[in-house]
Structure 1
Amino acid sequence: MSSNHAWQSGLYDNKLGFVSELGKGVVEWLDPQQGERILDLGCGTGDLAYAISKAGANVTGMDLSDAMIEKARDKYPDIRFITGNAEQFQVAEPFDAVFSNAALHWMKNAGQVAECVWHALKPGGRFVAEFGGRGNVEQVVKAIGAVLEENYGIDASGLHPWYFPSIAEYSSLLERQGFHVAYAVHFDRPTPLPDGEEGLRHWLSGFAGGFFESFAEEERSKAFANIAAKARDDLFRDGSWRLDYKRIRIKAIKPSSRAAI
């Protein structure tokens, strides 16, 4: 995950657990098999690595955040978790599959990630992932940008911590690496946040901290309140926040051999 984001593992588990819950459908799509070696890239606090392991797969979870890995090890001591950078990693023995949920959009050097995943897979191995696509949380990003510009004279465009590609952009990137893209879809998934009025504040604290690194705690709280006021008409319904998530789900295969030309 992003090296510029300070992950709060407790907040992630206690207030933002919907991320892992929504990822269970991606695990089903991965269809892990008994005895397979699977790498969970950007594993967070390990919930989906555990879900994969229940199929009998041998899972390794990797995340850039020491705090996330420490929490994952505490929760699931029988699973191997390692700290590593998805933009520059190598493995001693290749995997049958690489899995990733809600993590690739934190990795701006997407070409390097694709190259590392390629080398981490056996010939015939699969790469199965879901992450934010073009337009993801667009209304929230607009509200953040407006508040920073209007209240603080800050141009938020250079602070954007995420990579939200189009489906064509990401599929082409994988194909250039050599993958066969077997399936790709870009879809809307409006996502309700827990905790009613407080939901957006928890989300901003957990995921959008990169916009506010220079802010003291009190000023950050004021900014969050102003962002909520700005986004309320578009995103607050029936007592809860409902964010405009747009996701890419993709399955790519590393061919058993390159075709001769």
Structure 2
Amino acid sequence: MDFDAFRESERAGWNARAALYDGATAQATVQSIPMLLHMVHVYPGAQLLDVGCGPGYLAGAAAALGAQVTGVDFADDMVAAAHARFPGLRFDSGDALSLPYADASFDIVASNIVLFHVTDPARAIAEAARVLRPGGRFAFSQWLGPDSSDLYRELFAVLNDHADLSRADPAPDAYALSEPAQARAALEAAGFETVETKVVQNILRAPDGDFFDFFMQFGVRVPLIVAAQDADVQSRIRAAMTDHMAAYRKPGGFEVPMPSILFSGQKS
């Protein structure tokens, strides 16, 4: 199936969110970084590639631990944001599906909540293997799906009740690699051994106010679905989301469980 339209919508969406990431998406994604770096055995002097670096949080954390870091992202505005946040580090424009680096260039490759968004996750994993040196380590994180995530259970309950999902551009299954057996098979097919799995209990902390407005800045996939609906349907989605998320309201904001699952492997 052709996912080109979805891919370009993702690129445009992340470019648009580069200035918003700190106050929205980062409220959950950064929580996976410590375990991700633990799983790749980061060490001083390691050549580490952060694939889908966004504004550079993982790269910055790895650099603080002594790694020699390169970040790469297909959204140019995210690359600019990473340069602004970490001016001493290297950030490049490039694609997870065709990394602009030579074979065996890195000791470590890490990717935080990125394969969730690419159109060909198996190819992205193969690219990570290609640029790794023998014995190098790769790790990536994924959101768990509606069966394990309060956030995505509530969101998709609303969308399934009110939205015509067929209106959105065709997109790959976001949760394919959230299944341990599928993720392990993809890693092993790319030549990775000693595959490990960890779950991190991320909590999305959203400010008080309208949760719908916040979440339209948080990600890209759900806003693309919402934007494809008629205005009256969008209004119903907003109202239903407000009702569904009321249970997660705390003093000063919302706290919504949205766990991630992490996988790592070593190149043979």
Q: Does the TM-score normalized on the shorter chain lie above 0.5?
A: yes
- Cα separation, 1, equivalents of 2:256 and 2:168: 20
Looking at structure 1, the residues matched to 7 and 110 of structure 2 have their Cα atoms a distance apart, in angstroms, of 17
Match of 2:31 among 11, 15, 22: 22
Does 1:192 find its partner at 2:204? yes
Give the Å deviation of 1:124.
0.2
Q: Which amino acid aligns with 1:177?
A: A
Partner residue, 1:259: none
Segments of 5+ residues of structure 2 without an aligned counterpart are 1-5
RMSD over aligned Cα atoms: 2.8
Give the deviation of 1:79 after TM superposition: 0.7
- Do 1:86 and 1:116's aligned partners in 2 also have CA atoms closer than 8 Å? yes
1:108 and 2:119 are equivalent in the alignment: yes
Question: Aligned ranges for residues 118-197 of structure 1 at < 5 Å?
Answer: 118-135=129-146, 136=149, 137-149=152-164, 155=166, 163-165=174-176, 166-185=179-198, 187=199, 189=201, 191-197=203-209
Deviations along 1:60-112, one digit per CA (max 9) or x if unpaired, are 11111111111111111111111111122241251000011111211131111
CA offset at residue 252 of structure 1?
Answer: 0.4
* Distance across 2 between alignment mates of 1:247 and 1:20: 9
Runs of 4+ in 1 over 6 A off after TM superposition: 218-221
Preserved CA contact (<8 Å) 2:52 2:74: yes
| Aligned-pair CA distance for 1:4 | 2.3
Q: Are the aligned partners of 1:2 and 1:161 in contact in 2 as well (CA < 8 Å)?
A: no
Q: What is the aligned partner in structure 2 of residue 96 from structure 1?
A: 107
What TM-score does the superposition give when structure 2 sets the normalisation length? Answer: 0.80
Quote the offset at 1:30 in angstroms.
Answer: 3.2
2:131 maps to amino acid: A
TM-score with structure 1 setting the length:
0.82
Identify which range, 161-170 or 36-45, moves more after superposition: 161-170
The farther-off stretch of 138-147 and 246-255 is: 138-147
The CA deviation at 1:155 is 3.6
- Secondary structure, counterpart of 1:89 in structure 2: coil
Query: How many residue pairs are counted as aligned between the two chains?
Result: 248
Structure 1, unmatched stretches of 5+, are 256-261
Match of 1:77? 87
- Structure 2 residue identity aligned to 1:128: A
Report the equivalent of 1:205.
217
Once the two structures are aligned, what percentage of the paired residues are identical? 20
Q: Structure 1 residues 55, 246: CA separation in 2 closer, same or farther (over 3 Å shift)?
A: closer
The letter for the 2-side match of 1:64 is: F
Q: Could you tell me which amino acid in structure 1 is paired with residue 224 of structure 2?
A: G
Aligned-partner residue type, residue 122 of structure 1: R
How many Å separate the matches in 2 of 1:72 and 1:223? Answer: 37
Bigger Cα displacement from structure 2, 87-96 vs 5-14? 87-96
Aligned residue in 2 for 1:4: 9
**Cα distance between partner residues in 2 of 1:67 and 1:231:** 33
- Higher mean displacement: 14-23 or 62-71: 14-23
Amino acid at match of 2:117: W
Aligned to 2:66, the other structure's residue is in SS state: coil
